Structure 1
Amino acid sequence: MQMTTTPLALAIALTLLSGCGGGGSDNKISGSDDSSGGDDTSGVTSKTIDASDSSRYVYLNLDTGQMIDMTAAEAAASTAWHLAFSRTNIQLNGGASGPGNVVGAVGADQADFYDASGNPNASVFLNATANSELEHLLAAMSEPSSWTGDALTSLFGSDWYVYDHSNGNVTENANNGFLLRSAEGDSYARVRTTDFDFPTRTGDGIRNFEFSLNVQAAGTVQFAGPTLTFTGSIPATGGLACFDFDTDTTVDCETSDVWDLQIGFQGRDIILRSNSGPSGDGNGGVFGPFEWSDLSTYTSATSDPDSNNISARYTADASSGIFTTSSWYAYDLQGAHQLWPNYRVYLIDTDSTDAQAPVYALQVTSYYGASGGSGQPTIRWTTADLTATTTP
């Protein structure tokens, strides 16, 4: 049985939703001023954005309210945009998502939209409207105690290791495993961590690591051959190590573009990545985690033991932040395969290095355009009414 954790379930839901609903893709960059929610309050800007193309992001400047027509390569070098949109995904221009210094926080959590267990309260979602939730956008809010920038995420998450809070040691979690797609996108491996020794408080670095892999070669449908091992260590200064499972070779992360699995650390932070998304230029991806007792029974990385095709279940590495950790929507309420906003208010600091830079309060009020097409979120924002947090 595949394990589920809240962050991973959310990441998988984002992937599934990228193809959900009508509307398709017309490759337009657009954003129309919109007051269809009844928002005529002075100082509030509302905009419907065409983010229906799951293969690209579109970019918005909150100061001007204008969309900026640019390629991904241009956006990667530009501070002119603040938010990027693709289907349900919203990124900030900062951290792993861009060269800017944009950070975010939750200003109004909308806790009443969820029960004590964190499950959506369908009645609240279905009865809320843009008008009824406008007051939260306009309310005075305390300045956040902390802000969040976008960071790189992978479905490897933290399920491949165990952290001991008593001594700071990180060790292997051999009870979990993953399916990994290669950089070339045509071969696969079943992988788990079989040895890991990282005492984070001693300054020794990663003393040793070992990942065990079973490979399904390109053009085949089953795992075959011996179990491969990716082993090594990383010094206290930090760094990266990369493995190409097609050739059973440890490769240089800087000069090779065919690595499939990357392990690294800096300070006390450790990463495990596939060659995909912001992690690399390849077509890699991850599916999991699985309990190893279940995954060890798989004979293929493209079909499960019941012969269901799982080749589309792999997820590329991505960058995400406050809009992912505190999602703006619920999906499939009462069996309806649609998406409803929770009207959370997000605070967006447009430049964390400049105390005078504008800070905006922002809500997502819809995911569907005027004709009902999905991937056309409507957002509204205004200058945030923040009061400084004081210490008694």
Structure 2
Amino acid sequence: MHHAHTATTRTPRRRLTVVASLLAAGLVAGCADDLQAPNTESGVPDQPTAELPGPGGEAASFVTNGDFYSAVINATGDDWVYIDLDTQTQVYPENPDASDAWDIALQGSDIKLNGGTSGSPPGGEQVVAYPDKSEAGTPYPWESVVGAPPPTAVEYVTDDSDPITGGFVSDYVLTTLPEADTEANPATGEGDYGWFHYSGFVAGSVVSARSDVAYVIRSVECRYFKLRMTGYTNADDERGHPQFDLLEIPGTACNDDADGVVPLGAASFTPTADGQRGDVDATAEDAWVYIDLGNALQVEPVNPGDDATWDLAFKRTDIKLNGGASGTAAAALHDLAGADWTTVVAVPADADWHEDADDALAFVTYPPAENTGTAACGNINGDFGWYYYSGFCDDGDGVHHISPRDVVYVVRDRQGLFFKLRMLSYYDDAGSSAHPSFEFAPLN
């Protein structure tokens, strides 16, 4: 049930008590991506560069505001104002329910996404959002968001109907999430509703943006934006004019063809005291770097899913094995969390072997997570198999950092030979991400 917007403000719908939750670490195999600064190699698919700020439209204006863009929308009318985030343009879709033209739409205090119950873009991705908030009373750390959180770390959601007490239906992510700092007062309506706080009719029905709330939004074209709402009243003190800040950031590509093969030259090997060190350029979003451990070589399998020339493959933070769901060979791993590299000289007699599963890569699942998110880090930090992701916390290497966990893996290759292996870094000497390095040595 939606309310007609015949005035500049209204009593907001009741909140849907759903919170965007942290996914269980390692339960999703994934296209996990790191967060990185916009001026580094981006996880966003190539798109034509638009001249920004965009032209807006009769009910929308965009201006440059430092390093980002700010918008003012006249949402006082009865019609939705549809916005294409990529070009910052107001658009007029003939059939909004099945249109690729728009990403978000605004009407009064409501904001809907082109996904779920609000739209089904026939030629693009459903628009999804990750709603986030800082501690109540603490301004959201907008500047620290330099990339979209990986989908293995957080849950992206889109508009969805859900009947709640009283017969109302809450559809819109941005007007229901994240969770309230002040729960709605059933008598006056005062409380938090997603992006805004409503003062209640007794206090004048004032709508104000919550300063501790922000969103990461993925557009129809699979481009990512950080967005924070900043107000509801324009410069002339007129209500019904929602305002927001916007900036494109890197994120995980929406490419279903994730089984490509990176050409030779993306991996190099150097001898160590007891084995080899491998350095991999794993920046490709839609292709894997395949490795033959026994010969310390990069290979180019013709049919990776049914090929006996490779043992491991790398794609950004993901590592897959030629076994289980990823291949027809018998490659598997056993994890030794906290083990001393020098003392691991043989295969443990009680080794517990793990292969890749349909919904979980062994290397991003084992060992199980010890850290699963803290409020101080935005609840998006945690362990994902071989690595720890810092989220909004600086654990010594900066925010949004990927760090190898203290674990030695025993790897059984496709030929039944055994190696010990440990991850060394996710960054090259220049600090560029998606350049994993690892060390491995044969075992008895």
How high is the TM-score relative to the length of structure 2?
Answer: 0.37
Q: Greater share of strand residues, 1 or 2?
A: 1
Q: Greater share of helix residues, 1 or 2?
A: 1
Instruction: Report which structure shows greater RCO (CA 8 Å, sep ≥6).
Output: 1
How high is the TM-score relative to the length of structure 1?
Answer: 0.42
Q: Between Structure 1 and Structure 2, whose CA radius of gyration is higher?
A: 2
